[in-house]
């Protein structure tokens, strides 16, 4: 164990030597009070590659608004003591290739209600060629809302995550939930977006889901006693995940459709677990579970998987988990934790830039950048329970260096068939003075 700690410490120390790219750090500290203006300014002012560190506070925005991160790679994470900090919404867009966006330790969504009719997702990722890495986050779509009687207004529910035209979206250890449909309370609001939103929508994008839980939004619960009639459509739960023109690699994750309402009508429905909308998509399923939404009382049952033939491929290897403590300041104790199969030989890929390289022969996607890959580190062998835990102390950062984000990904050699690519985790390394 001491040898493993020494190897980890030596490799991390090497990362702090001259010639390795370093990042500046912007600390956003509202002291528990309003922090929206501070965070908006930080995202606008941050230089490409910097770290935005959020301390405890209230980061509420106005109606139907989300924070904007556009055109640059950076790390956005909660500080220790602020894990799960709530942001009302985040939109990441137009980040070019050869960049990395890391978002870790936040609850994102739902944005505040509005009567615009267009629901904002908790997290929107749009037109990004960069790798967008989301870890240890909770993403929640906005619920539907209908008000008024004779001239009703409404807003549609929204997915927890919508990825559009983005080349490399990586979710590690996240919970994603679609918004619930509105609760129609009278004849005029009954028909407005009562269906729940999809949990995750992948549109012309490439996505990795590793040890995530994704759930479609439940149908709203109408209180008017008469069922809808044409031309109003039947309503129901949202899909857990909807895939269109996309590649999705799903490992160790559970994806569930949304349920129908408690006083539903016979033709309303529970959501599907996964729906693939076209034959051009590809979903790789490895040790993942797809479930239909809960059917309450009556209605049409959902399906675990709805997909054209040949668009979903099962991979046989069991999923292995890996995490590293983050953020850590120099001198702090951290832990690398691996949970796999008994006797696994565990390797660690380490990089300063995330990537996205599907490797079917390794039953995974390389998300720690292979070019350049800084080093491949042998961590040791998992015990009889399949676990390997390595505590370590963060070494000192050279004077003048504020912070660094390190992408790590586990690989395992266990049984026949060679090594497999496993879960990944991003370590944010900070100067002790911050």
Domain end position, chosen among 315, 330, 350? 315
Of 315, 334, 368, the one marking the end of a domain is 315
* CA quadruple 178, 39, 423, 249: dihedral sign: positive
Verify that 230 and 120 share a domain, yes or no: yes
* Same domain, yes or no: 372 and 251: no
One domain, residues 228 and 287: yes
Decide if 183 is inside a domain.
yes
Residue 235 structure tokens: 């309503």
The tokens 């909807």 sit on which residue? 242
Domain that holds residue 364: 321-430
Instruction: Please check whether residues 304 and 328 belong to one and the same domain.
Output: no
pTM of the prediction?
0.93
Q: Is there a single domain that holds both residue 162 and residue 188?
A: yes
Sheet of 345-351: strand order equals 328-329, 419-430, 403-413, 345-351, 375-381
Encode burial over 275-306: b for 16+ CB neighbours within 10 A, e otherwise.
bbbeeebbbbbbbbebbbbbbbeebeebbbbb
Of the three residues 282, 315, 348, the one that is the final residue of a domain is: 315
Per-residue pLDDT 10s for the chain (434 aa) are 554 554 554 555 555 554 455 568 999 999 888 999 999 999 999 999 999 999 999 998 877 788 999 999 999 999 988 888 899 999 999 999 999 999 999 999 876 555 555 667 999 999 999 999 999 999 999 887 765 555 455 677 899 999 999 999 999 999 999 998 877 655 555 555 578 899 999 999 999 999 999 999 988 876 555 555 555 567 888 999 999 999 999 999 999 999 887 665 667 788 999 999 999 999 999 999 999 998 887 788 899 999 999 999 999 999 999 999 999 999 999 999 999 999 999 999 999 889 999 999 999 999 998 777 777 888 999 999 999 999 999 988 877 789 999 999 999 998 666 899 999 999 999 999 98
């Amino acid at each position: 164990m001491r040898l493993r700690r020494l190897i980890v410490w030596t490799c991390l120390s090497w990362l702090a030597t001259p010639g390795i790219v370093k990042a500046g750090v912007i600390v956003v500290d509202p002291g528990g009070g309003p922090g929206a203006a501070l965070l908006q300014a930080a995202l606008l002012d941050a230089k490409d590659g910097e770290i935005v560190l959020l301390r405890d506070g209230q980061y509420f925005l106005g109606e139907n608004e989300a924070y904007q991160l556009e055109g640059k790679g950076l790390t956005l994470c909660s500080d220790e003591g602020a894990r799960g900090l709530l942001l009302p919404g985040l939109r990441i867009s137009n980040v070019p290739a050869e960049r990395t966006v890391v978002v870790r330790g936040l609850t994102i969504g739902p944005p505040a209600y509005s009567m615009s009719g267009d629901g904002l997702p908790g997290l929107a990722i749009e037109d990004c060629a960069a790798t967008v890495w989301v870890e240890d986050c909770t993403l929640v779509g906005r619920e539907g809302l209908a008000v008024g009687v004779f001239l009703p207004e409404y807003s549609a529910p929204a997915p927890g995550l919508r990825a559009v035209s983005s080349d490399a979206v990586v979710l590690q250890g996240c919970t994603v939930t679609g918004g619930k449909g509105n609760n129609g309370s009278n004849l005029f609001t009954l028909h407005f977006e009562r269906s729940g939103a999809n949990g995750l929508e992948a549109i012309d994008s490439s996505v990795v889901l590793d040890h995530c839980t994704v759930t479609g939004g439940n149908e709203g619960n109408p209180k008017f006693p008469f069922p809808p009639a044409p031309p109003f459509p039947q309503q129901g739960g949202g899909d857990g995940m909807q895939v269109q023109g996309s590649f999705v690699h799903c490992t160790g994750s559970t994806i569930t459709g949304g349920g129908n309402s408690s006083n539903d009508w016979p033709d309303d429905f529970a959501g599907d677990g996964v729906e693939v909308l076209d034959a051009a998509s590809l979903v790789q399923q490895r040790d993942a579970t797809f479930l239909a939404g809960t059917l309450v009382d009556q209605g049409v049952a959902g399906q675990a998987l709805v997909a054209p033939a040949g668009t979903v491929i099962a991979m046989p290897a069991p999923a292995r988990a890996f995490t590293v403590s983050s953020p850590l300041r120099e001198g702090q104790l951290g832990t690398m934790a691996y949970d796999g199969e008994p006797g696994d030989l565990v390797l660690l890929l380490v990089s300063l830039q995330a990537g996205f390289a599907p490797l079917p022969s390794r039953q995974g996607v390389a998300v720690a950048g292979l070019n350049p890959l800084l080093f491949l580190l042998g961590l040791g062998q998992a015990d009889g329970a399949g676990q390997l835990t390595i505590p370590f102390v963060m070494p000192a950062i050279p004077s003048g260096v504020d912070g660094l984000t390190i992408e790590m990904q586990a690989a395992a050699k266990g049984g026949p068939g060679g090594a497999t690519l496993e879960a990944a985790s991003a370590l944010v390394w900070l100067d002790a003075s911050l």
